[in-house]
A = this chain, B = another copy of it.
Amino acid sequence: MSNGELQWIIPDGYIPPDSSGQLESHESICVLNLNGEEVTVTVNAFFEDREPLLGMKTTVEGRRTKHIRTASLQAEGRFIPKGVPYAMEVVSSGPVYVQYSRLDSTQAENALMSVMAFPVKE
């Protein structure tokens, strides 16, 4: 039985710069690791007008999920800028499942969107 894929793509990344109301605007990369062992997840961000920001790493324990706030990711002190369109490649050291969700609270009432990330099959 498969435990997922090693590479997933999310073309529409965007951290809303503003929040209002009760909840904070944010994006989450939701990873499910059904393996027995921890995996290392590397997120690479691609932009419209600048060089990619590569190698933002985190780990997900075995038989656990992690809902990763994109604003928390970094590589050598560099973070994904807010208010800038970008895209993500998610690469894992072991097979996982990945979903992407965004909460936009620019206005006081919330807006939600979610997609399953696109699996790359080798």
Contacts and interface: CB of A to CB of B under 8 A. Distances in A.
Interface of A: 1-2, 4, 7, 9-14, 18, 21-23, 28, 30-32, 34, 46-49, 51-52, 63-67, 85-87, 89, 97-99, 101-104, 106-122
Nearest to A89: B34
Given A1-B7, A11-B99, A48 B65 contact: yes
In the complex, the count of this chain's copies comes to 4
A87 B112 CA distance: 18
Contacts of A85: 28, 30, 65, 67
Contact of A110 (B11, B13, B107): B107
A102 B109 CA distance: 16
